Chain A
C-alpha cells in the first residue's frame, strides 16, 4: 500500500534453486532480482547482503541482513533475515543507556528475540551497506546517507553491548565481500544463529546435483509420479540432513534424522532464547558456540524454526505437516543410494548431527524451563531408539512400502513431536518476553513515534501552567473531598475483583498464546467498566515489564471521542504506527497489518470504549474490528465496552455479532453495600463521614441507579455543605443532615419550585390548562381554548384579563422552561399545548400556597 509498491516491482529469483527441502516443500535460492517496471532497472540482492525491509511505518524501513531466500509450498517468496534496529525502535527510556548522541545512520545489531525473522521477500526494498565500527570510532562522513548504515553495538532488548569480535569480523568480511557479486556466503554471527558454513558447503554440492538427480530419476522406478520424483530430488538437495541419512542407506534412520533435525530446531529455539544471556556471560558463550559449531547445518531447518515461532498456535497442523512429509526422505534416500560420493562427509555430519541431540540434556539446563529439559531428554531417548532401529533396518531394502513407513512414522515420532510442541508453547512467552522492554515505552498513548512529529501540526499543544501552585488540602473535609473526586485514582478497585480477574485472565491467556480474541463488556454508566479495564491493563503492563508476560501494545479508542465511526481506523493506525492518513486508507493499512504476519510485531490490545457509537448503517467498522482478531496472524485482543447488555443482538448484524463471539461480561450496578465499601475505601483513614451518612447515600444511589459517580458526587457536595454550615466546629464530620441536603439538592424535581415562583398569570394559565384538560378530557389543548378558560378564571378572581399577546408571552415563557410542551409558534392561537409534568404535580404546586 505504499508508494514503492505502487510503482510495480517484480520480484524474481536470481539463478537456479540451490537446494530444496522436500518435507517443507521449500526451494532455496541465492539471490533475488527486483525489477522495477517503471524505470526498467534490475537490482540483484544476494544472500548476506544488507537490505531495507518495508516496515509498519512507510518512511522508516527496517534494516536487515539477508540470510536465506526460499520459496515455500504456496509459491510465496520468503526471506530469512537478521534484523538491525534503528534508534527509533528502541524504547525511549532505554535510549539513555547509550549516553551518547545517535546519528540516524547508526543501527544496532538486533538480538531481541521474538521478532519474526521470516519475512515476505516482497517486502524487501533495496540493498544497502552496513559497516561495523569499533565502539570508539566516529561515524565516517559518508556520501550516501540513505544507503549506508553503521553498526557499533548490539541491542538485546535490555541493554547495549559492544559487538563481539566474531560478529564484528563477520560483518566486516561481509562488507568487503559485498562488492563482489559472487559472494553468496551469508554471514551469521556464531553466537546468535548456528553457522551457515555447512550450508554453503551444501550449496557447493548442490551445484553438482542436477546430474545426480537425473540419474536418480532414471534409476528409480518408483510408484510415485515422475514429476514428484524430480521434485523430491530437488527437495532432497535442499536438505542436507536428509541426504546424509540417505547415504547411510537406512530409511528408518532418515526418520530418526528427521526427528533429530526437529529436535535440533527446538534446541535452537532454546538456544536463541538463551543467547542474550549467553553473550552476557562469556564463559557460557564459549562452550556454547563450540557446541553449535559442531552441530549440523541449521539453515535447512530455519524455515521450520521460524515457522514454529510464529505458528505456535497451531501445533496440530504443523505436526500433520511433518507426518505428511515424512515419506519423502526415504525416497530421497533411495534415489541417492547410488551416490556415495559424500559418504564421508555425511558420516561426519551425522556425528555432528547427533551430538546436539544427545547432548541436549546437558545443554538445556541453561534454559530454566524444566519442561523443556524434560522434553529434550525424552527426545534424546527417542533418537537413540531410532538410531538402533536404523541399524537394524539398514539391511532391509531401502525402498519399503510407504504405508508401512507411514505407520511407523506415526507411531514413533508422535510422542516426541507432541512433546516438542508443548514445550514450544511454553517457550514462547519466555523468548518473547526478552523484548518486553519495549512495552512500557510504546504503551503510553499518544506518544508520537519518533520521526513523526516533523510537521508543525503535530506540535504538542499544552494548556499553560498555572502561575500559583495549587493549594494543598488544609482540612479533613478538603482532604476527603479530594479523595472523593471521581478523578482520584484509587489504589485498587474494590467490589470489582471478580470482573477484574476474569478480564485479566482473558487477556493474559490470549497474550501467552499469542492469539487474538474479543471480549464484550457491558454495564450501565458509572459501574466501573473502563476503570476496571484500565486497571487490568496497568497490571498486565506491570507483568510485561517484569518479563512475566509477552510484551504488548495498547491502543485505546473511545466512540464518543471520535467525530465519525470511520475515524476509529485513523486513530488506531496513528496510535499503532504514528502514521496520519485518511480513514479509508487507514482501513486498508490496518487490514493489511492484521491480516499478514508482520515482522517485528507484538500483540496489540485494543480497548474500544462506547462501542455502540461505532455503529454505521453497513456496520463495516464494527465488522472489521471484530474480524481482525479472528485472522490467523492478527495477534489482536479487543476489549469492547458499551452500556447495553444486548447490544450485539440489538444493533449488530449477525455476521458482526458472530465475530464478536460469546465472551461477554456484564457489570451489575453496585449494590448499596458495595457503594458503601467504595466510599469507605476511598476515605480510608480520613474520618470525615458518619457511618450512617455513608449508608444513606449508598442506599439512595443504589436504589436509583447504582452509579458510583453519583454516589461520590453527593458525598463531595455533602462535605461542602458541612463546611459552610458549621465553620466553627473543629471536628468537622459530615452527618445525616448534610447528606440529606445534598441528596435533596441533586434529586429534587425543579418543576414544583419553578411553578411556585412563577408569576400570578402564569399560575392561572396552568390552572386554565388543567381546567381545559378536564373539560375536553384530552391532555392537549390549543392556546385559544386555554385562553377562554384563562379569561373565565380571571373573571372569577376579579383580575384584569390579559390580551392575547400577553397570553402568548406567558405561554412561550412557560414553554421555554419546559413546563409546557409547545408546537411551533407560527400557529399562534391554534398552537397546541401539553403539560411536561403530571397534572397532579401542577395541582400540588398550585394548591400549596
Chain B
C-alpha cells in the first residue's frame, strides 16, 4: 500500500518524461541481457576464499585495479588473483599453463575471465604480447572445426595459400608445426579459452585437448589453456594421458554469497548510474529502489528466489519482468510489480496448459489420475481411460454429456499432442491406438492446482477429481 501511494505521489510530482523511462528501460535491459560482456560486474566471486581482504565497492571501475592501488594483498587463493597471476606469468615470462574454471551455470565464469582479460590488456607490458583464441564447445563441435577456427583466429590461414584449408590431418599437422616452432622466450604466448570445456572432452580421442595440453607441457610456443565448464566431474572425463598433461589447476566458482549480499546485488543492479541525464529522476528511482530493498514483500519475493537458486541470471530474469511493467504512467518499480514478476517466474508450465483444456480433456486427465492412483503409476492405454470415464458418466455425472468414443479419442489425441500424456514407445503401424501404453506427465498436485483455478469447472467433476469414490 505504501508503495502504491508513493507511486501515485511520484506520478503527480515528477511526471517522468517518456524519454526518461525509455532510457531507464534501455540501461537496465542492457544490464540484464548482455552480462557476459566485459562491463559485467563480479558479484560473489570476489568473496570466495578472500577471507582477509574485502572490497568496499565493486562499482568503481575494476576492483582489481582498485585493490592494486590500495597495495593490499588478497589471499593467494582468491580466485581472480590466481587467474590474473596465471595469465600475467604467461604473457610476461612465457610460462605455459593450463587451468580449469569450474562452477555451476550463472556463477560468473565467463564474466570473471573477461574481467581478468580486460585488466590484463590494460597492462602496458602485455599489449601486443598475447594472442587469444576463443573456442566454444557448442560452436566447435568437432576437432576439425576447432582447428580451422584456431587457424583463423591466429591468422595463420594466409600462410596456407590459395587453398584455404586442407584436410583435417593437414590442418592438424600444420598447426602443430606452427606451435612447435616457437620457444619460450621469443614467441608470442597464445591464450586458448575453451568455453563449454566438457564438450571438447567428447571429441574423438580428445585429440585437440591432448595436443593443446601437450604443447603446454613441452618447450614449444608458450600457451595457456583456460577451460570453462559447469561439470564438477570434469577431471574424470579426461583421458588418462590428457589428464596427466593437464596441470590440475582448478578454479572453483561457487555462488557462496548470503542473502544480505543478494539484496545488495539486487539494489546495485536496479540502481541508475550517476551519469543518468535526468538527475532528479535518477535520484528518485534510486531512493525508491532503496525503499524496495527494505520492503518485507520484496524481501519475501527475493528470499523465495534465493532459496530456489543462487544463480544471478534468474534474479536478472525476475527483474527484467518487473522492469517491463515500468511505463510513463507507472514510472517507478513497486513491490507489486516484483510480486507479479515472481508469480510469472515461478508458474508451472504444464499447469498453465491444463488451464486451457476443455472439460472433456480435464475429465480424461482426472480419469488418468485415478488410474495412476489405482495402479500405482503403471502405464495405461486409451481403453482404460475411456472405461474410467464411462464409469464416471454413468454413475455420477449430471452435467456431463456422454460423448461418443471417437470424440473422446480425439480429445485424448489432443492431450497427446500437448505432451500431457506420452506413449511408452513410438506408435507403430501395427499397434492399435486404443491400446498403446501411455503415461501421464502430470503430477497429482499439478492437476489439483490447475482445477482450483480452472474457470467454470462443474462441481461433480471437481468432486470426482478429489476422490474416485466420490459417487458412493
Contacts and interface: CB of A to CB of B under 8 A. Distances in A.
A445 to B, nearest CB: 8
A714 B76 CA distance: 15
B230 interface: yes
B187 A709 contact: no
A710 interface: yes
A805 B104 contact: no
A471 interface: yes
Interface in A440-488: 446, 455-457, 459-471, 473, 478, 481-482, 485-488
B429 interface: no
B337 interface: no
Interface of A: 446, 455-457, 459-471, 473, 478, 481-482, 485-489, 524-526, 560-564, 567, 570-571, 610, 613, 643, 707, 709-710, 713-714, 716-717, 720-721, 723-725, 727, 741, 745-746, 750-751, 753-754, 757-762, 784, 787, 791, 799-800, 802-806, 809-810, 813, 816-819, 827-830, 836
Contact of A470 (B161, B184, B207, B244): B184
Interface of B: 73, 75-77, 81-82, 85, 92-96, 102, 104-105, 125, 127-129, 131, 143-144, 154, 156, 159-163, 166, 168-170, 172-182, 184-190, 205, 207, 210-211, 214, 216-221, 230-233, 240-241, 243-245, 247-250, 252, 254-256, 304, 306-311, 346-351, 377, 419, 422, 439, 441-443, 445-446
Nearest to A583: B169
B180 A461 contact: no
B255 A757 contact: yes
Contacts of A526: 244
B446 A804 contact: yes
A463 B93 contact: no
7 contacts: A459-B159, A564-B169, A754-B104, A804-B351, A806-B308, A810-B309, A829-B443
Identify the interface centre among A466, A467, A567, A727: most chain B CB within 10 Å of its CB. Answer: A466
B174 A461 contact: yes
A455 B159 CA distance: 11
Contacts of B351: 803-804
B161 A818 contact: no
Contacts of A466: 94, 128-129, 186-189
A485 B96 contact: yes
Nearest to A791: B445
A800 B304 contact: yes
Contacts of A463: 131, 154, 178-179, 181-182, 187-188, 190, 221
Contact of B161 (A456, A720, A813, A829): A456
Given A461-B159, A482-B93, A487-B216, 11 more contacts: A485-B95, A560-B210, A721-B77, A727-B73, A750-B102, A754-B232, A757-B255, A759-B310, A761-B307, A803-B351, A813-B311
B219 A816 contact: no
Nearest to A812: B105
Contacts of B73: 724, 727
A560 B248 contact: no
B196 to A, nearest CB: 11
B185 A469 contact: yes
A760 B232 CA distance: 19
Given A465-B187, A525-B244, A571 B311 contact: no
A4 B190 CA distance: 47
A723 B254 CA distance: 25
Given A470-B184, A727-B73, A803-B351, A488 B219 contact: yes
Identify the interface centre among A455, A710, A727, A818: most chain B CB within 10 Å of its CB. Answer: A818
B104 A817 contact: yes
Given A467-B128, A724-B76, A461 B177 contact: yes
Contact of B309 (A560, A720, A762, A827): A762
A805 B92 contact: no
Nearest to A819: B232
B347 A803 contact: yes
A459 B187 contact: no
A470 B94 contact: yes
A815 to B, nearest CB: 10
B241 A610 contact: yes
B241 A643 contact: yes
Contacts of B256: 757
B228 to A, nearest CB: 13
A115 B144 CA distance: 43
A478 B85 CA distance: 13
A804 B348 contact: yes
Contacts of A758: 104, 310
Given A466-B186, A478-B93, A560 B207 contact: yes
A836 B231 CA distance: 11
Given A563-B172, A563-B207, A720-B76, A468 B125 contact: yes
Contacts of A802: 308, 346
A464 B211 contact: no
Nearest to B124: A468
A707 B243 CA distance: 11
Given A457-B161, A461-B159, A787-B443, A816 B230 contact: yes
Contacts of B349: 805
Contacts of B129: 466-468
A760 to B, nearest CB: 4
A810 B232 CA distance: 16
Identify the interface centre among B94, B308, B309, B419: most chain A CB within 10 Å of its CB. Answer: B308
Contacts of B439: 830
Contacts of A810: 308-309
A217 B31 CA distance: 110
B306 to A, nearest CB: 7
Identify the interface centre among B131, B245, B311: most chain A CB within 10 Å of its CB. Answer: B245
Given A487-B96, A803-B351, A613 B205 contact: yes
5 nearest A-B pairs in the assembled complex, by CB-CB distance = A456-B161, A525-B244, A724-B76, A757-B254, A461-B178
A813 B218 contact: no
A750 B252 contact: yes
Contacts of A461: 156, 159-160, 174-175, 177-178, 181
A525 B254 contact: no
A494 B96 CA distance: 23
Contacts of A753: 252, 254
A745 B125 CA distance: 30
Contacts of A836: 232-233
B95 A818 contact: no
A746 B254 contact: no
Contacts of A727: 73
Contacts of A459: 159-161
Given A446-B177, A813-B309, A709 B76 contact: no
A561 B182 CA distance: 18
Contact of A724 (B81, B190, B207, B216): B81
Identify the interface centre among B85, B162, B210, B221: most chain A CB within 10 Å of its CB. Answer: B210
Nearest to B78: A724
A709 B179 contact: no
B169 A570 contact: yes
A809 B441 contact: no
A754 B254 contact: yes
Contacts of A709: 217, 244-245
B178 A525 contact: no
A608 to B, nearest CB: 14
B305 to A, nearest CB: 9
Identify the interface centre among A468, A488, A809: most chain B CB within 10 Å of its CB. Answer: A468
Contact of A464 (B104, B131, B441): B131
A525 B104 contact: no
B56 to A, nearest CB: 21
B85 A470 contact: no
B211 A561 contact: yes
A464 B182 CA distance: 9
A721 B249 CA distance: 12
Contacts of A762: 309
A643 B243 CA distance: 13
Nearest to B105: A816
